[in-house]
Amino acid sequence: MPEKIFQKVERNNPVPLYIQVKEAIRRAIVEGILKPRQLLPSERQMCHLFGVSHISIRQALVELTRDGLLFRVPGKGTYVAEKLCSAEKGGAPIGIVIPSTNGGLCSPFVSDFLLGIKSVTCTYGQDVLVFTDTENGYLEPGKKNSLQGVILTEPTFSDNRVKKLQKMGTPFVVLGRTQEQNVSTVDVDHQKIFYLLTEHLLKSGHKKIGFINGPKRLTVCQDKLNGYRMALQKYGIGYEKTLVKHGAFSEISGYENARKILKYSPTALVCADDFISVGALRAIREKGLSVPEDISLCGCHNSSFTQHTIPSLTTADIFPSLLGRKAAEKLIRLIRGEKVELRTIIPGKILIRESTRRIR
């Protein structure tokens, strides 16, 4: 059993212990480190390996079993579930390009997105290769394992990957918005989501709302910023550059940027990602402030831990597994030469929880 799967959890991390255990096991399954029908260590052994209680291990295993990733044999133990299908494999694989930063495969969003893709590709017996955006193998048609198609994530402005795939004539689908013409995409309306998150705060009486965004180079971050600005404009609130910061989709970036914005005494913060929100929450508490009593806080992605933070986090669900399924379905149709709609939009959902409240 590879040791890197079972490591002591971070007790200083605001993410609940059982969620950390669950994500570690799920990542190992998605990456193929844990194989179908492989027996997991006993619950007692995992308590020792992860450094958590029996309750945390049991809760993680129950949720993974419910999600169809594990199954239990009474008297024998817990096993990794069978592959989603047993169709025969055939033809060249398709490639999926994920971020090399933001946690990569460790990201709950990416893991769910990949599981959504696999739920479709295995139905057709289709092999999948995963690349990071720092690798170029999927852009080399002369290689032995040439690809039938590609799914790209995190498109940038003037994305050279898109231009090269268009020139190569390789069928591909992009998760997100691109500036290039005639590109098949699957996306969530991020502009609307961040309009609604900001509007929720404005309707609660907040007038000084900070925004911690992801990297400027990504089109999705421009969409999120546009939604934030549109809501401010509608409610007659001026846009203040000092209240807006860009950085990585990470806890440390959220922490550092929140510290900068807190100097200007906002009453609320909107974050482009849940991990950014966790960092912002730490910065707020370090300043001796409370959420939501002093500052309301919003995230995005509805990561599993957001229901268990204290307070629970107002966020938005953008359904990564569904996005993965839609992207895979569209790519397979393109490979078959079928016509598809260029832009597929999946509605997101705002989830109001305890981290936001009406301003006093």
- pLDDT tens-place string over residues 67-80: 678 888 888 899 99
pLDDT number for residue 12: 75
Same domain (yes/no): 19, 102? no
Same domain (yes/no): 269, 329? no
pLDDT number for residue 52: 93
Same domain (yes/no): 293, 244? yes
Helix ranges restricted to H, the chain: 17-30, 43-50, 54-66, 108-121, 160-168, 190-203, 219-234, 251-262, 274-286, 320-335
CB-CB neighbours of 220 under 10 Å: 22
pLDDT number for residue 84: 45
Q: CA-to-CA distance for 277 and 275, rounded, in angstroms?
A: 5
Kindly report whether the global pTM for this prediction surpasses the value 0.85. Answer: no
Percent of the chain with pLDDT over 70: 92
Does position 218 have pLDDT exceeding 80, yes or no?
yes
Number of domains in the chain: 3
Task: State the average pLDDT over residues 311-340.
Answer: 92
Same domain (yes/no): 123, 217? no
Predicted confidence band at 101 (pLDDT cuts at 50, 70, 90)? Answer: low
Q: CA-to-CA distance for 58 and 43, rounded, in angstroms?
A: 7
pLDDT number for residue 3: 52
Q: CA-to-CA distance for 74 and 92, rounded, in angstroms?
A: 40
Of the candidates 228, 211, 357, which has an alpha carbon nearest to the alpha carbon of residue 296? Answer: 357
Predicted confidence band at 120 (pLDDT cuts at 50, 70, 90)? Answer: confident
pLDDT number for residue 217: 93
Q: CA-to-CA distance for 272 and 315, rounded, in angstroms?
A: 10
Residue 179 lies in a domain: yes
Q: Tell me which residue range forms the domain holding 21.
A: 3-80
Same domain (yes/no): 238, 301? yes
Same domain (yes/no): 179, 328? yes
Same domain (yes/no): 299, 335? no
Mean of all residue pLDDT scores within the chain: 88
Query: Of the segments 116-130, 257-271, 301-315, which one has the largest average pLDDT value?
Result: 257-271
Does position 219 have pLDDT exceeding 60, yes or no?
yes
pLDDT number for residue 345: 95
Final residue of a structural domain among 55, 80, 105: 80
Predicted confidence band at 270 (pLDDT cuts at 50, 70, 90)? Answer: very high
Residue 148 CB contacts under 8 Å (≥ 6 apart), including other chains: 91, 92, 93, 94, 126, 171, 335
Q: CA-to-CA distance for 187 and 220, rounded, in angstroms?
A: 9
Does position 306 have pLDDT exceeding 80, yes or no?
yes
DSSP 207-249: --EEEEE--TTBHHHHHHHHHHHHHHHHTTPPP-GGGEEE--S
Q: CA-to-CA distance for 341 and 125, rounded, in angstroms?
A: 24
Same domain (yes/no): 310, 201? yes
- Looking at residue 31, which CATH number applies to its domain? 1.10.10.10
Query: Within 13 Å and on the Cβ side, how many CA atoms surround 239?
Result: 12
Same domain (yes/no): 105, 206? no
Does position 91 have pLDDT exceeding 90, yes or no?
no
pLDDT number for residue 89: 44
Predicted confidence band at 111 (pLDDT cuts at 50, 70, 90)? Answer: confident
Of the candidates 275, 217, 271, which has an alpha carbon nearest to the alpha carbon of residue 243? Answer: 271
Grouping H, G, I as helix, E, B as strand and the rest as coil, residue 96 is: strand
Predicted confidence band at 141 (pLDDT cuts at 50, 70, 90)? Answer: low
Same domain (yes/no): 313, 205? yes
Final residue of a structural domain among 46, 80, 114: 80
What does the pLDDT look like over 233-252, one tens digit per residue? 999 999 999 999 999 999 99
Q: Which residue has the higher pLDDT, 82 or 203?
A: 203
Cβ–Cβ under 8 Å, residues 80 and 59: no
Same domain (yes/no): 24, 100? no
- Looking at residue 168, which CATH number applies to its domain? 3.40.50.2300
Same domain (yes/no): 103, 196? no
Does position 115 have pLDDT exceeding 90, yes or no?
no
Does position 161 have pLDDT exceeding 70, yes or no?
yes
Does position 178 have pLDDT exceeding 70, yes or no?
yes
Task: State the average pLDDT over residues 270-292.
Answer: 97
**Prior bond to 292 cis, omega within 30?**
yes
Structure tokens given for 140: 């080399």
Task: Pick the range with the lowest mean pLDDT from 37-46, 122-131, 175-184, 341-350.
Answer: 122-131
Contacts for 37-44: CB closer than 8 Å, 24+ residues apart:
37/79, 37/80, 37/82, 38/79, 38/80, 39/76, 39/77, 39/78, 39/79, 40/70, 40/77, 40/78, 40/79, 40/80, 41/1, 41/6, 42/77, 43/78
DSSP 278-322: HHHHHHHHHTT--TTTT-EEE-SS--GGGGTSSSPPBEEE--HHH
pLDDT number for residue 85: 43
Task: State the average pLDDT over residues 101-112.
Answer: 67
Task: Judge residue 293's burial from the number of C-beta atoms within 10 Å of its C-beta, 0-12 exposed, 13-18 middle, 19 or more buried.
Answer: exposed
Chain-centroid distance of CA 229 in Å reads 23
**Prior bond to 311 cis, omega within 30?**
yes
Task: State the average pLDDT over residues 118-145.
Answer: 75
Structure tokens given for 6: 């079972």
pLDDT number for residue 227: 98
pLDDT number for residue 143: 55
Predicted confidence band at 45 (pLDDT cuts at 50, 70, 90)? Answer: very high
